[in-house]
Chains A and B, each alone.
Chain A
């Protein structure tokens, strides 16, 4: 039973345009959400996070939106750059889990010049 779902295995976007990566979750106890970026042969790198008490968090070109009623979050990258090409993982943590992160399967983003 997958608690964090990233239904799009891949996404291709033109350089300069917006990239939108989606993530759905089923566990209503999740109260903290994170996005990680992973290049080949490297470990995941923390990108941005959001607490369940917020609906938006912005950091430069990256914005994460949280819709608690729909149990959905999304990562927007504007403008997309070729260096953003990587696998993006959505992760969630439940209150009281002491940081146990539940990851989605990832979405491979390709930004074409």
Chain B
């Protein structure tokens, strides 16, 4: 079974630029999550989708972050404009049921 695919693996951008991350979940998984992991911290949920509907986006900084999951499969997370404090690893995860999530390798974002 193929795992959760994410791209790119690494990204370096200047502050105020925009960036987008892509995630392809495990086939058949209805639930998709985006987590942000800042160095030295545990992952923090940004947004959760069930199929193509948003279940929880309460911790998503909506003034600069946006996410979509078209057709209930792939998802993209966008940051515009980026700030220095957005430097983190962005993890995508998917789940066939609500709790045990399977994570991708993540995208390491550095904002300079």
Contacts and interface: CB of A to CB of B under 8 A. Distances in A.
A29 to B, nearest CB: 14
Nearest to A36: B103
B20 interface: no
A91 B50 CA distance: 20
B42 A89 contact: yes
Contact of A46 (B48, B56, B100, B104): B100
Given A43-B91, A99-B31, A99-B98, A104 B103 contact: no
B2 interface: no
Interface in A8-67: 32, 34, 36, 41-46, 49
B72 to A, nearest CB: 16
Nearest to A104: B42
B42 A45 contact: no
A45 B103 contact: yes
Given A44-B91, A98-B48, A34 B100 contact: yes
Contacts of B43: 44, 89, 101, 103
B75 interface: no
Nearest to A45: B103
B98 A101 contact: no
B31, B33, B42, B50, most chain A CB atoms within 10 A? B42
Interface in B36-83: 40-45, 48, 50, 55-56
B101 interface: yes
A44 B56 CA distance: 21
Given A4-B42, A99-B95, A99-B101, 18 more contacts: A32-B99, A36-B103, A42-B105, A42-B106, A43-B93, A44-B43, A44-B91, A44-B103, A49-B100, A99-B98, A99-B99, A100-B48, A100-B56, A101-B45, A101-B101, A103-B44, A105-B41, A106-B42
Interface of A: 4, 32, 34, 36, 41-46, 49, 89, 91, 93, 97-106
Interface of B: 4, 31, 33, 40-45, 48, 50, 55-56, 91, 93, 95, 97-106
